[in-house]
Amino acid sequence: MSDDDRIEWGGVNHLALVCRDMARTVEFYEGTLGMPLVKTVELPQGMGQHFFFDCGGDDLLAFFWFAAAPEPVPGISAPAGRPDVADLTSAIGSMNHVAFKVPVERIDEYRDRLVAAGIECSETWNHDDSEWGLAPTVTDEVFVRSVYFQDPDGILLELAASTRAWRPSDVAHAPMSAASAQAAAAAGADAQAAEGSVVPASADAAV
């Protein structure tokens, strides 16, 4: 594809989420987190409201309030909780979490502010490419530092502070296809079944 054929991406205009209580959402995002409310929209025919917050970098975080919104299903419509206390998995097509860019030198300060405001947070995580993806301290291999917390509706949020520029080695994995994932799962199930069919030595002695 030539440069002339490429879409000229300018970043994210806005991400639209759904809340239960718009007044509570305004209190949290504008009052507690300090994101200015910059636009409000009343949806037609009493459907609800659509409000926009300035989250910095010319980006907006938006919320719908629908009068007839269905209830959330934690673990399906969104993760069951913060990744330090619950499973991060959510359903295909779900919005898993929102990460806000913050200065790396201030992320610990911002975590302290959240905790002081009564918001439960993870520790500050140092993400690297080790087996578990976390380092106990900041090293040259750490690429981002993160703090996770949730809003009043349980939406998973993250403060994310990049620690270095991207490297060619950061793209090192082949993308998993649905077919290859199913084949890997089937192979794993077959291996477990084979292990289960082997009679342990202690069982032979007991016969």
pLDDT digits (tens, 9 = 90+) for 71-101: 999 999 999 999 999 999 999 999 999 999 9
**Domain identity same for 152 and 166:** yes
**Domain identity same for 64 and 19:** yes
- Exposure string over 76-97, b if 16+ CB within 10 A, otherwise e: ebbbbbbbeeeeeebeeeeeeb
> What whole-number distance in Å separates Cα of residue 94 and Cα of residue 147?
21
Domain count, the chain: 2
Q: Is residue 153 part of a domain?
A: yes
**Domain identity same for 121 and 164:** yes
Task: Write the CATH number for 26.
Answer: 3.10.180.10
**Domain identity same for 35 and 18:** yes
Task: Write the CATH number for 99.
Answer: 3.30.720.110
**Domain identity same for 31 and 64:** yes
**Domain identity same for 91 and 13:** no
146-190: per-residue pLDDT in tens?
Answer: 999 999 999 999 999 999 999 999 999 888 888 888 888 888 777
Residue 185 amino acid letter: A
Q: Is residue 196 part of a domain?
A: no
CA 26 to chain centre: 21
Q: Is residue 191 part of a domain?
A: no
> What whole-number distance in Å separates Cα of residue 79 and Cα of residue 118?
21
Q: Residue 168 has what DSSP assignment?
A: G
* Torsion from C-alpha of 133, 138, 142, 148, nearest 10 degrees: 60
51-68: per-residue pLDDT in tens?
Answer: 999 999 999 999 999 999
Coil vs helix vs strand at 57: coil
Nearest alpha carbon to residue 100 among 141, 47, 156: 156
Question: In sequence order, what are the beta bridge partners of 127?
Answer: 134, 144
**Domain identity same for 98 and 154:** yes
Domain range spanning residue 59?
7-70
> What whole-number distance in Å separates Cα of residue 10 and Cα of residue 93?
23
**Domain identity same for 80 and 169:** yes
**Domain identity same for 82 and 65:** no
**Domain identity same for 80 and 160:** yes
**Domain identity same for 31 and 57:** yes
Is residue 48 within 8 Å of 20, Cβ to Cβ? no
**Domain identity same for 58 and 16:** yes
- Show which of 52, 70, 88 is a domain's final residue: 70
pLDDT tops 50 at residue 110: yes
Q: What pLDDT score does 197 carry?
A: 58
Is residue 144 within 8 Å of 128, Cβ to Cβ? no
